[in-house]
Amino acid sequence: MMYLRDRKKLARKSWISVPVLLFVAFVASSGCGPKKGRVLATVGDKPITFEDLREAIARMSPRQRPDTTTLEGWRKCLELTIDKELLVLEARSRGLEDDPEVLEMLENEKRKFMLWELYDRAVRAKARERGEEEAFKFYKKRRMDESIRISQILVKTKSEAEEILKALKKGRNFEDLAEEVSLHRRSAERGGDMGWLFRDQIPPEIAEVAFSLDIGQIYGPVKTIFGYHIVKVTGRKEVGFEEVRKGIEMRLMPELERRINKAYIDSLEELYHVECDREALGVLRERLETSVPPKLSPDEEDIVLFRSDLGALTLGDWVENFEKASFLTRPDPKDSASVRDFGERLLLSYVILPYEAKKAGLDTCSAVLSGLKKRKLDLMVERLREMEILDRLNITPEEERAYYETHRDEFVRPPKAEVIDIHLRDKQKADSLLALIREGADMEELAKRYSTLRRPGRLRWRFPVSKDRLSEAIFGKKFVEEVFRAKVGEVVGPVEAKGGYAIFKVVERSGPRRRSFEEARREVTMALRREKEEKLLREFIEKLKKKYKVTVYEDALRKIVSGRGKP
């Protein structure tokens, strides 16, 4: 039986500094033949045109991109593009196109390209084919051929609602009363107006009544889990399928893709007889209880966790990939299902799906080959960086300590907050739950029942949030900002968050704290490494500028930027 580690050595992950990322971001546009346009520079025999420069800038992230509203910003972009071309030239001159490590990493990249193409054909294409049909079914089932505009007044008790109805019959203005007494504050601020809504956007108890009312008619009280509502219909319109088709398709597509993908994976697992060895899973769970990552004996590394007709995954494979996985993709070591699913995904990703992709001829399809051609240049530059820079890096404990002492104020633990959170995809549902919480409902119970946040694979409703980029990447920048703006004990929301909207309460908070050298040592090493790498990289680029002739046509750049020249 072929084992995963026999089939493919995974490409190693190496630390890459921001300057190198800038160069690599440009590489994809290199070596694809000359482009038309004004030549701004030449590196060796390679011209850099205005079109080359624009493509290079487009590939940069906004944070990395120099200010292109100024001539100096364009000069910086051109300088970076020249540096990139120098690296590509040197990589080619050293024959890195055929370097064994480059070819090994390229093989892993080929697998990724094939899997994306396979997913597009086996899942996305089918979802697109079924999209309109599924959207029409949804349109008919949810009775979306009609939309109404309603206003409401929400109160806690039936007696309050009856008093409001009496006031309305005596001539009180609905909008004024909504502003004064409605518990649904967001609509209350607009005189009770909830906007245009379909049936499935309204609690069923209200929808049943509201869609039978005439425009201007008031009805109530209607009891729901949120309280007692008095509703008023202020508008009604017919909605054709084509008006809402695209919106429905976008709404349904993620779930439709998920279902199609699951059916596809299930069929492959049945076809190739994928099985998990329960005893092996038990051994892995035992080792995870004592250490993370788990420590295995040499014999345990060869124990098969998953087997199939095409190959197997061992405990050693599982641990190797666990150590390489990012925080967001690592399984929860305390959750048996998460541990198992991680292994299953590895077998699929490295054995079964690549086999299916090759069987479909995707290893030679134009999309994969085109992507690989561009990616190979990235890998050649990365390999050159390893040879010229990483292999020369040497950091001593004394240098680490000295760097820490000089930059003590940079190594501060960010403010931290513990929150109870309800993540929801639908804003109106969030508004409704917020009203319940303010009426006294138990927030944790509502979170357990309604929250959709999964991190990294299990449902979460109470967790820490730090004022840093990692938390912003996980939850969204707006959410993190609001968490640290809120008072302890205050219920806030709905606010925009990753994947929808959030209602949260800060349970406790701690301020920033300077970390000791021992606590910050990993970050100290990374910062010092980055500083040294950037210095070595600049020195290497300067050497290449002496080796290869570089000519910059400053007048051409100035004319194009000022709008006086032809691109």
Average pLDDT, rounded, for the chain: 87
Distance (Å, whole) CA 86 – CA 81:
9
Inform me whether the pLDDT recorded for 96 exceeds 90.
yes
* Better-scored residue on pLDDT, 341 or 473: 341
Read off the pLDDT of residues 118-153 as tens digits, 9 standing for 90 and up.
999 999 999 999 999 999 999 999 899 999 999 999
Q: How many helices (H) and strands (E) does the chain have?
A: 24, 16
pLDDT of residue 258: 93
Burial class (CB in 10 A: 0-12, 13-18, 19+), 291: exposed
* Better-scored residue on pLDDT, 425 or 44: 44
Query: CA neighbours within 13 Å on the CB side: how many for 125?
Result: 8
Confidence of residue 58 (pLDDT cuts 50, 70, 90): confident
Q: Which two tokens stand for residue 308?
A: 């199939």
Sign of the C-alpha dihedral, residues 84, 90, 96, 102?
Answer: negative
pLDDT of residue 123: 95
Confidence of residue 15 (pLDDT cuts 50, 70, 90): very low
Of the candidates 393, 385, 383, 384, the one whose C-alpha atom is nearest the C-alpha of residue 532 is 393
Classify strands 491-497 and 500-510 as parallel, antiparallel or unpaired: antiparallel
Inform me whether the pLDDT recorded for 422 exceeds 70.
yes
Inform me whether the pLDDT recorded for 364 exceeds 90.
yes
Sign of the C-alpha dihedral, residues 432, 438, 439, 443?
Answer: positive
Any bridge partners for residue 423, and if so which?
A: 502
Domains of the chain in start order, with CATH, are 4-99+549-562 (no CATH), 100-135+262-372 (no CATH), 146-238 (3.10.50.40), 412-514 (3.10.50.40)
Among 10-19, 50-59, 448-457, the minimum mean pLDDT is found in: 10-19
Which residues, at least 6 apart from 522, have a Cβ–Cβ distance to it below 8 Å? none
**Which amino acid appears at position 96 of this protein?**
L
Inform me whether the pLDDT recorded for 19 exceeds 70.
no
Read off the pLDDT of residues 194-220 as tens digits, 9 standing for 90 and up.
999 998 888 889 998 999 999 999 998
pLDDT of residue 70: 85
Distance (Å, whole) CA 460 – CA 439:
24
Mean pLDDT, residues 502-512: 92
Read off the pLDDT of residues 393-415 as tens digits, 9 standing for 90 and up.
889 999 999 999 999 988 988 99
Among 13-27, 274-288, 302-316, 380-394, the minimum mean pLDDT is found in: 13-27
pTM above 0.75, yes or no: no
Which residue matches tokens 């049936």?
Answer: 199
Q: CA dist 9 to 5, 276, 286, 342, Å?
A: 6, 22, 27, 18
Confidence of residue 21 (pLDDT cuts 50, 70, 90): very low
Confidence of residue 16 (pLDDT cuts 50, 70, 90): very low
pLDDT of residue 451: 82
Inform me whether the pLDDT recorded for 29 exceeds 50.
no
Which residue matches tokens 């084509």?
Answer: 242
Give the 3-state secondary structure of residue 546: helix
Mean pLDDT, residues 498-526: 91
Inform me whether the pLDDT recorded for 457 exceeds 90.
no
Confidence of residue 564 (pLDDT cuts 50, 70, 90): very low
